[in-house]
Amino acid sequence: YDGTDLAGYQKQSADKGITVQGALEKALSIICAEPIQIYGASRTDAGVHARFQVCAFQTSGSIPVENIPRATIAHLPKDIVVTEAIEIPLDWKPRNNIFGKEYIYSIYNREIADPIGQRYHWHVKKPLDIESMRHAGKALEGANTTPVDPVKTIYAVGIVEKNGHIDISVVGDGFLYHMVRNIAGLLVDVGLGRKSVARIPELLAAKDRKKMGKTAPAQGLVLEEIFFTPDRLNTVIQRIKGE
* CA distances, 198 to each of 56, 132, 137, 195 (Å): 44, 11, 12, 8
Active site residue 231: no
Dihedral of the alpha carbons of 134, 49, 87, 34, in degrees to the nearest 10: 160
- List, as one string, the DSSP characters of 9-47: SS---GGG---HHHHHHHHHHHHHTS----EES----TT
DSSP 165: E
Q: How far apart are CA 18 and CA 139, in angstroms?
A: 38
Q: 108 pairs with which residues across the strands?
A: 123, 165
Beta bridge partners of 166: 107, 161
User: Which one from 45, 79, 167, 173 is the annotated catalytic residue?
Assistant: 45
Instruction: Give the number of other Cβ atoms within 10 Å of residue 80's Cβ.
Output: 20
Short-list 158, 168, 151, CA closest to 207: 151
Q: Looking at the annotation, which residues are catalytic? A: 45
